[in-house]
Amino acid sequence: MGQISVETCEIEGLKVITPQVFGDERGYFMETYRADQFAEAGITDDFVQDNQSSSTRGVLRGMHFQKNFPQSKLVRVLSGRVFDVAVDLRSGSPSYGKWFGVELSSENHKMFYIPRNFAHGFLVLSDWAEFAYKCDDFFHPGDDGGLRYNDPALGIVWPDSISPEEFKVNERDRNWPDFSCLNK
């Protein structure tokens, strides 16, 4: 029934997926995941865990990664709008240390596929957002790592609709090391 449109990004492996939405006066229906269609698009991960969070405007979560048990993620927004970012941490990749960002919203229905060995984070642009994602490995306590969201070496350009002074960042995310510390 459903179909997906898959956009490749300038960083190899990242994909923006837009599902076909069937709507009428009652609302809409869409398939958010169908293994055969994702496999045709080159996404063959065996997703084993779903996570969901809610956040208010200006919340910035990230930039997170898993050190020994990396996870592929398929992220989407159920309600609201976020700017979602992935940073390539794949050793030897021509885009190592580069970032890509995309706006995900409950209106555009886009999903963002992030393969293993990327740091990930997002900034909430709407008054409130509900965020969901699939992972291809289970959460392993103590395996989390991160990079500072405002590290000049990464140069992530967060949307200017929210000033950095308005960002709501928890202490852990504020204190992640710079990208230069990764290979030390």
Separation between Cα atoms, residue 130 and residue 44, nearest integer Å: 26
Q: Tell me the C-alpha to C-alpha distance, in Å, between residue 96 and each of 83, 117, 153, 180.
A: 21, 10, 12, 12
Separation between Cα atoms, residue 107 and residue 127, nearest integer Å: 14
Q: Tell me the C-alpha to C-alpha distance, in Å, between residue 83 and each of 3, 49, 73, 125.
A: 24, 22, 16, 7
Identify the three-state secondary structure at position 118: strand
Query: In the chain, where does DSSP find H-type helix?
Result: 35-40, 171-174
Q: Could you list the active site residues?
A: 64, 133
- CA torsion sign for 154, 119, 72, 60 is negative
Residue 93: Cβ-neighbour burial (10 angstroms; 0-12, 13-18, 19+): middle
